[in-house]
Chains A and B, each alone.
Chain A
Amino acid sequence: MLGAAGAGAVADLTASGTSYASTSTSGKAKPGVGTGTPVRGGTLIVGVIAEIDGFYPGTAHWDTNGFNYANAIFDPLMAVAADGTTQPYLAQSMTSNATFDTWTMTLRPGIKFSDGSALTSAVVLANYNALKASALTGVALDQVASVTAPDDMTVVYKLTGPNPTFPSGLTTQVGYVVGEAMIEQATAHPNTAPTPIGTGPFIYTSWQPNDHFTATRNPNYWRKGLPYLDQITFKPIPDTTQRESSLRTGGVDLIQSVDPSTITNFEGSGGSGFQLVTTATGVIGQPSFSFIMLNTAVAPTNDLTIRQALAYGMDQAEIQKVAGGPPAKPATGIFLPGSPYYSNTHYPTYNPSKARALVKAYKAKHGTPVVNLLTVPVPLDIKIVQALQQMWEEVGFTITLSEVQQATIIDDFVLGNFQAVTSYQFGAVNPDLNYVWWSTTTVSPVGKIGLNFTRLEDPVIEAAMLKGRHATNQSTRVAAYRTVNEQLAKQLPYLWIEQYIYSEVGDSRVQNFANPTLPSGKPQYRFDQGIFVPTQIWLKS
């Protein structure tokens, strides 16, 4: 459990809602929540959207699929509870000093990795060192000045400044712990895939990229009696319709989707015999948004006039219609109405005349603005970029379209190889977790690794993000993150489309896929950005 100072602070500062949108399509049972006594055994086959690029947290780009694979074989140090607080997972406790700049973690005793080695503070330290050294994840640990292991089960994090919400960072990719042998293998052979070694509920069995990933029950799992399943298999099925058909024909038991049409297809009579759970409402902290990301370091999107023209020339409501699914709310920033951080950002609304005038002004100086709009080969995204191409060409732009795979597009983000690109991001239980994406310290020249993908160097955002991080009272935090939101609406590195809703549909046999509990027994935040925890899933016979 958390220490007094840390627990209170984390709970107060991160929670902002806990309800879920879920549709019961198979009787009165709550979708995704098990009824009856759990049954042990069986294989769960999950149809996922895309393949991942690896298991090693130091080099792999984990998206929703990555975290789902990871949750099968690894465990995080901390996890988010359903009430929004950050709670220990592999850790037994996490306490801070009075100034929130030193955090002490005690590990749970008796936990073993799949290779038989023990979870100790030395392993956590080795993980930290590897993640800190990684070009990909090191920046997420920039606020950590040092980590020490005073004894076998204690880890002390000294921060560069106070941060009452620091433990929430350990619920992310940098909080997952892998066995030392995996780190050694990854370090010694950076161009080969290390064999995953974790403490998770399942043990890595096989991975054939683009075909399947299978893990089998960990018989020595430290959470006694768990997991219930004998085996879990993930099958990438990139086509949404085919994924849905596979569920309907019994080829898979559970599917994930980010296509709004899935919600429409499994709501009402179309979902009879299935359980649908979505993230449409009740997200803790920040929801994910879909948006067009603009590179502020390359012409012509480095010009604010062009970004404004694109924003005024984009009919958000029409794009939402093109995306399909249930009616969406207007998106004007990174928070939704109901969040304490939500405010009127004065984000530009559709005004083609204004957009045309801005393009005309730009054209007089530099000629016709040509923007390449990059996307992934997903039908929904392609529909959106085609609609945008038409809208923006109507106000005077020349828009070219290009496509790359989801697993690769992240490299374009990191290296700044884009002008405008479709993306989705920012779902976080704590707005501070988005610091790396907006900080001036993570901006790099185009062609060099930089986690501030838009390369917007805005001192106002930087100051506000740091103010929010170090704030020890809620009103200061609220003011800080409202400033961030409003400044993003002024600088326009993102053109918002709508809240990005994840949905998960299980057949009637799959129990408890949206009802995990923490080791303490407390309900866990379920389905955070489409990520599920397979530990307590069971199959009705």
Chain B
Amino acid sequence: MAKYLLRRFIQLVVVTAIISVLVFLLVHLLPGDPTTIILGANDTAHNRAVLLKQLGLNKPLVQQYFIWLRSVLHGNLGQSYLNHQPVTQILAEGWPIDLELIIISQILAFAVAIPLALLTSRKPNGTVDNVSTTGTFGMLALPPFVIAPVMVAVFAVGLHWFPATGYVPFTQDPATNLHDMILPSLAITAGSIAVYYRLFRSDLISTLQEDFITMARSKGLSSRWIMWRHAFRPSSFSLLAAAGVNIGALIAGTFIVEYLFALDGLGFSLVNAVQQRDYLVVQGITLVIAVVYVLLQFIIDFFFTVVDPRVTRE
């Protein structure tokens, strides 16, 4: 297993290095002189000289890359040219929102999808299964930008149970924070529930038809024991893979929800920066997201080895 993980780690380092080059080249792919775009109306000779020096754009490209990489490794990702906010500050303010949205939504998604799949897989095509399958079809068809306004209209404006917008950091007021984050989290939970439920149900049904399950049944083991002890683990392989991809996509992928609920998360900051052509912010956030994504996949790979040790024998 150690050899397998080491090989995965080396791949991780290579992928991260490639990502860093691509992200670095982002600014250089801009048509024309990036300083003109970055400075805009403040494009004076003095400001241009300062910026060229700041960005190291007056040096050869390879040298520029290593200067930039050294800055990144020292925690300096540059600053927004629009409001001069350091990128590290934007990340520091944004990541707790993304993290919280992901944690809450994924806990809710697993809490609904797993028990539901366990229940329906026992009697495929039964009433409960048919209703659940149809329901999750509907959930897949309802994107967050449809669910969010409906939830706001019902639970915020209509029933006054939750606020329509607002965010208080968890460290400041945990109760208010959780209260504020319920609606945004629910808005992105539906899609995850549908994906997790359908995958897990399908794998469970397939596993329950395996010979070793028949053997367990013939030994007179209880259905609950068979489900939890014998069927659950081999069926969770696809679920784990899907969760890895899904959680990765949710890192900064919750833009619509953050936009609608006025949450200043990474997704909102990234899309704003793209639209405002705030290239250093785009560069910084993209790099961090990519690295986190790669790390996440590494962690998922590790979990695969726990769930199914056969993967280390490839």
Residues of A within 8 A of B (CB): 47, 51, 53-54, 59, 61, 135-136, 190-193, 208-211, 235-239, 241-243, 245-246, 248-252, 377, 403-405, 407-408, 410-411, 414-415, 447, 449
Given the known A-B contacts A404-B276, A405-B276, are A53 and B160 also in contact in the complex, defined by CB atoms under 8 Å?
Answer: no
Q: Could you list 22 A-B pairs, sorted by A, with CB under 8 Å?
A: A53-B82, A53-B83, A59-B42, A191-B54, A193-B83, A208-B264, A210-B272, A211-B264, A235-B262, A236-B262, A239-B260, A239-B262, A242-B164, A246-B165, A251-B163, A404-B275, A405-B275, A405-B276, A410-B41, A411-B37, A411-B40, A411-B277
Tell me, rounded to whole Å, the shortest Cβ–Cβ distance linking B283 to chain A: 16
Report whether A249 and B272 are in contact in the complex, using a CB–CB cutoff of 8 Å: no
- Kindly identify which residue among A54, A239, A249, A415 contacts B156, using a CB–CB cutoff of 8 Å: A249
Contacting pair A251 B165 (CB below 8 A): yes
Residue of A nearest to B264 (CB): A211
Chain A residue at smallest Cβ distance from B162 = A249
Q: How far is the CB of B268 from chain A (nearest CB, A)?
A: 7
Q: Which residues of B contact A410 (CB under 8 A)?
A: 40-41
> With contacts A236-B262, A239-B260 known, is A191 near B40, CB below 8 A?
no
List chain A residues, Cβ under 8 A from B277: 404, 408, 411
Give the docked Cα–Cα distance between A54 and B79 (Å): 14
CB of A19, distance to nearest CB on chain B (Å): 33
Contact B149 A415 (CB under 8 A): no
* With A190-B47, A235-B165, A241-B149: A447-B36 Cβ-Cβ less than 8 Å: yes
Question: Among A61, A191, A403, which residue has its beta carbon within 8 angstroms of that of B50?
Answer: A191
CB proximity of B26 to chain A, nearest CB, Å: 17
* Residue pair A251, B166 in contact (C-beta under 8 Å): yes
Which residues of B have CB within 8 Å of A190?
Answer: 42, 46-47, 50
B248-260 interface bits toward A, Cβ cutoff 8 Å, 1 = contact, 0 = none: 0000000000011
What is the chain B residue whose CB lies nearest that of A136? B41
| With A191-B47, A209-B82, A209-B83 already in contact, 17 other A-B pairs whose C-beta atoms are closer than 8 Å | A53-B82, A54-B82, A190-B42, A190-B46, A191-B84, A192-B79, A193-B84, A239-B259, A239-B262, A245-B164, A245-B165, A246-B262, A249-B163, A408-B276, A410-B41, A447-B36, A449-B43
Q: Is the CB of B40 within 8 A of A414?
A: yes
Among B36, B40, B268, chain A packs the most CB atoms within 10 A around the CB of B40
Chain A contacts of B167 at CB under 8 A? 211
Assembly CA distance A250 to B162 (angstroms): 10
Instruction: Write the nearest CB–CB distance from A301 to chain B, whole angstroms.
Output: 20
**Shortest Cβ gap from B51 to chain A (Å):** 7
**Interface core residue of A53, A192, A252, A414 (most chain B CB under 10 Å):** A53
- Could you say which residues of chain B place their CB within 8 Å of the CB of A414? 40-41
Q: How far does the Cβ of A356 sit from chain B's closest Cβ, in whole Å?
A: 34
Assess whether B157 is in contact with A245, with CB atoms less than 8 Å apart. Answer: yes
Query: Which residues from A are CB-within-8-Å of B260?
Result: 239, 242
B22-66 vs A, Cβ < 8 Å mask (1 yes, 0 no): 000000000000001100111110110011001000000000000
